[in-house]
Amino acid sequence: MNKIIIAIMASSLVPAAAMAQSAVTVYGVADVGFVRETGGAEGSVNTINSGVASGSRLGFKGTEDLGGGVKAYFVLENGMKIDTGSAAQGGLLFGRQAYLGVSGQSGAVSFGRQYSPYYRAMRDIVDPFCDGLAGQAGNITASNARLDNMVGYASPTLYGFAAELAVGVGEVPGNSAAKRAYSTALSYTAKTLVVTLGWHQQQNALASDSSANTLLGARYDWGVAEGHLGYARNKGLLGARSNDAIVGASVPFGPHKVYASYVRHDDTTHANRDASQWGLGYTYALSKRTDLYAAYARIGNRNGATFKVGNATTDGTGNTGANLGIRHTF
């Protein structure tokens, strides 16, 4: 990987006379909806939430053409709460994403706070809800969403194959392994079929234990519908072990789109804290940038399992959740 980074950096040394072309884009999502949750210790909970289908955000992204097929690029993305006007992601200025990179014929290298390759494989290929609304697979599966201090490499696509590699540097003084994370995804695309294999490992704060997830998933487009499949094997801290299975579909017709999925979590330890989730969602496009959405999901917990129905930005309070809202992208 070091040779790849050096090659990409070296290829960016173009003549000073080269005319660089740059562009900066401002973009975002405004999402707000009504959420009703039941089945938790707090009883029935009714709220107006921001980021139910997609996290509300304001972002800046840009590229500069350095010549010779090499580009520099950046993303700065702030998460916000439309319902209160406050910052999301614990108040971080650019808590959703913040990174800088260089791309060329050999691939792309990026540095900063970014989505892990494992998370993108789950969100974009396996989960028909794309990590949003009540039916999202992340309610009972590991998502491994973001890595701080991440160094990532994305290969070019060759004969349908592409790979992503990432390391999240823990930056713990005196213990370079502590909090370190590794994440990879290998994908193959052939017309209407996409297959992915992902792996993610996270060290704890002392590097004395680690969690790991391995994901095999696929998405197939029949034209009238898309099918989604996924299977994950999980190793948690303190000897936790589990398997997850995901099957789902999304069906577009005109301005309408229907989503459905079933997620099964199998705890393979003696505790046997299994869970299963059924989810159903619907969106209606008012325009290319604005849609209405509705969703419902229910989790069946067994033997003391405590999974909750959340959405794109909240973890939920009970084992059922219903959403109704509006989303605008710009």
Share of the chain above pLDDT 90, in %: 93
SS3 (DSSP) at 144: coil
**The dihedral sign for the CA sequence 40, 42, 48, 49:** negative
pTM: 0.91
Q: What average pLDDT does the segment 228-238 reach?
A: 97
The confidence band for 15, taking pLDDT boundaries of 50, 70 and 90, is very low
Give the integer Cα–Cα distance in Å for 1 and 184: 13
Joined tokens for residue 179: 């909090």
Joined tokens for residue 113: 């706070």
Quickly list H helices, the chain.
2-11, 117-121
Q: How many CB atoms lie within 10 A of CB 122?
A: 32
Whether residue 133 is predicted with pLDDT greater than 60 in this model: the reply is yes
Per-residue pLDDT tens digits for 63-117: 999 999 999 999 999 999 999 999 999 999 999 999 999 999 999 999 999 999 9
CB 122 within 8 A of CB 198: yes
In this structure, the dihedral spanned by the alpha carbons of residues 186, 188, 194 and 198, taken in order and rounded to 10 degrees, is: -10
Share of the chain above pLDDT 70, in %: 94
Q: Would you mind telling me the total number of residues written for the chain in this entry?
A: 330
What is the residue-averaged pLDDT of the chain? 94
Closest CA to 35 of 25, 47, 19: 47
Report which secondary-structure segment, H or E, holds 296.
strand 290-301
Closest CA to 134 of 326, 329, 298: 298
